[in-house]
Chains A and B, each alone.
Chain A
Amino acid sequence: DGGITQSPKYLFRKEGQNVTLSCEQNLNHDAMYWYRQDPGQGLRLIYYSQIVNDFQKGDIAEGYSVSREKKESFPLTVTSAQKNPTAFYLCASSSKRDTQYFGPGTRLTVL
């Protein structure tokens, strides 16, 4: 089945730790995205990538980093510089001028 997978579903981070969220797609989409979701704030774009080895900052990139070494994969690292990382993180992918499809999400909690 084609789709987007995210792992893990739940993730816990201690203060000062970096953590990496995985996102994989087998839809052959060029573009991939990371969003952060907080209650009452909708979806906020963290980073997006239109092509392998290239990515752009979204609206709230501070404290996050990404890589795009393969078309299928777009991992997100939440660094210790992100002071309030507890949130629900959604990965998505799309072709240009077409529908964006979402993964099931990862809930990150800071202990």
Chain B
Amino acid sequence: AQSVTQPDIHITVSEGASLELRCNYSYGATPYLFWYVQSPGQGLQLLLKYFSGDTLVQGIKGFEAEFKRSQSSFNLRKPSVHWSDAAEYFCAVGAGGTYKYIFGTGTRLKVLA
């Protein structure tokens, strides 16, 4: 069965520090992969996506993610975190050929001043 795992429920980093949020997926074929960010009481905003091609993808707000097929991972990174990055982050996989998407349970990021 398709699944997405975000092993870290909460992460706390200091402002200016680097960030890596983990995402592992289980899917038989090459998945479509997404990272979204959600501020409290808001909808989800797309940060970046991977469909094919270059395995390092750049997104908005200085985020990037790397698709590693051998590890079934799609980790999100940012070299220097800003206080405004505090939010909840969701990894998702799209089942190619269908309209369904599977979401991880999210990682809540706290940024210390």
Chains A and B are bound partners: yes
Chain A residues proximal to chain B, CB less than 8 Å: 4, 6, 30-31, 33, 35, 40-43, 45, 48, 50, 88, 90, 92, 94, 96-97, 99-105, 107
16 more contacts with CB within 8 A, not counting A94-B101, A102-B43, are: A41-B105, A42-B103, A48-B99, A48-B100, A90-B44, A94-B99, A97-B32, A97-B96, A99-B34, A102-B36, A102-B44, A102-B45, A103-B43, A104-B43, A105-B42, A107-B41
Q: Which residue of chain B lies nearest to A49 when distances are taken between CB atoms in the complex? A: B99
CB distance from A73 to the nearest CB of B (A): 17
Cβ 8 A contact of B34, one of A35, A45, A100: A100
Cβ 8 A contact of B103, one of A43, A48, A101: A43
Task: Count CB-based A-B contacts (< 8 Å).
Answer: 50
Compute how far the CA of A43 lies from the CA of B44 in the bound complex, rounded to whole angstroms.
10
Q: Which residue of chain B lies nearest to A29 when distances are taken between CB atoms in the complex? A: B99
Please name all residues of chain B whose beta carbon is closer than 8 Å to the beta carbon of A33 when the two chains form the complex: 101
Cβ-defined contact, B101 with A100, below 8 A:
yes
Number of interface residues of B (CB under 8 A): 23
Please name all residues of chain B whose beta carbon is closer than 8 Å to the beta carbon of A107 when the two chains form the complex: 41
Cβ-defined contact, A96 with B99, below 8 A:
yes
Compute how far the CA of A40 lies from the CA of B92 in the bound complex, rounded to whole angstroms.
16
Compute how far the CA of A100 lies from the CA of B98 in the bound complex, rounded to whole angstroms.
12
Question: Is B90 on the interface with A (CB-CB < 8 A)?
Answer: yes
Please name all residues of chain A whose beta carbon is closer than 8 Å to the beta carbon of B97 when the two chains form the complex: 97
Please name all residues of chain B whose beta carbon is closer than 8 Å to the beta carbon of A48 when the two chains form the complex: 99-100
Compute how far the CA of A40 lies from the CA of B108 in the bound complex, rounded to whole angstroms.
9
CB distance from B90 to the nearest CB of A (A): 7
